[in-house]
């Protein structure tokens, strides 16, 4: 009998707690604050990931540009002289032969550098600017709140 009275008292306390509107509003406010904090943390993480991806892509573009520039300069000199020997039998002056060698070499390295830059830019273009996971979570929360209210 004592057990049934203690169980009844426990249920009545639980019912009182459930019926206490200010405590429910306070709990809702605390839960809402916790939810917003979690969503902001998710947003920060997602934005950081996106920024990191853009930084890595930008570094690749910069590295590609530097490599293309150095390659353009050095290879132009070396290959221009090598290519100028291929035009020995042509009736061109020596400076014209050198110029032709420089033009062919320069175009080749410009193409390689542009290809590296375009590949890196395309990789960056695939990155979404909007944090997708956070947006999905916020949409779910919005729907939940609309159902609850």
Tens digits of pLDDT across the chain (149 residues)? 555 555 565 555 555 555 677 787 788 888 888 888 888 888 888 888 888 888 998 999 999 999 888 887 887 788 778 888 888 888 888 888 888 888 887 788 789 889 999 999 888 888 777 777 877 888 888 888 777 76
How deeply is 60 buried, as exposed, middle or buried, from its count of CB atoms within 10 A (0-12, 13-18, 19+)?
middle
Closest to 58 measured CA to CA, from 117, 131, 126, 128: 117
Length of the chain: 149
| Coil, strand or helix at 128 | coil
Q: Report the pLDDT value the prediction gives residue 115, as an integer from 0 to 100.
A: 94
Rounded distance between C-alpha atoms, residue 31 and residue 37, angstroms: 10
What's the pLDDT at 137?
81
CB neighbourhood size of 113 (10 A): 19
Contact status, residue 107 vs residue 58, Cβ threshold 8 Å: no
* Model pLDDT, residue 3: 57
């Amino acid at each position: 009998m004592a057990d049934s009275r203690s169980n009844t008292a426990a249920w009545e306390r639980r019912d009182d707690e459930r019926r206490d509107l200010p405590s429910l509003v306070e709990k809702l406010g605390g839960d809402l604050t916790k939810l917003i904090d979690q969503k902001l943390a998710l947003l920060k993480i997602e934005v950081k990931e996106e920024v990191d991806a853009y930084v890595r892509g930008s570094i690749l573009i910069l590295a590609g540009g530097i490599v293309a520039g150095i390659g353009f300069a050095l290879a132009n000199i070396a290959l221009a002289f090598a290519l100028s020997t291929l035009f020995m039998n042509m009736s061109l002056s020596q400076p014209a032969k050198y110029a032709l060698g420089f033009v062919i070499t320069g175009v080749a390295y410009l193409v390689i550098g542009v290809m590296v830059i375009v590949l890196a830019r395309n990789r960056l273009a695939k990155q979404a600017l909007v944090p997708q996971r956070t947006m999905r979570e916020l949409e779910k929360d919005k729907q939940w709140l609309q159902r609850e209210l």
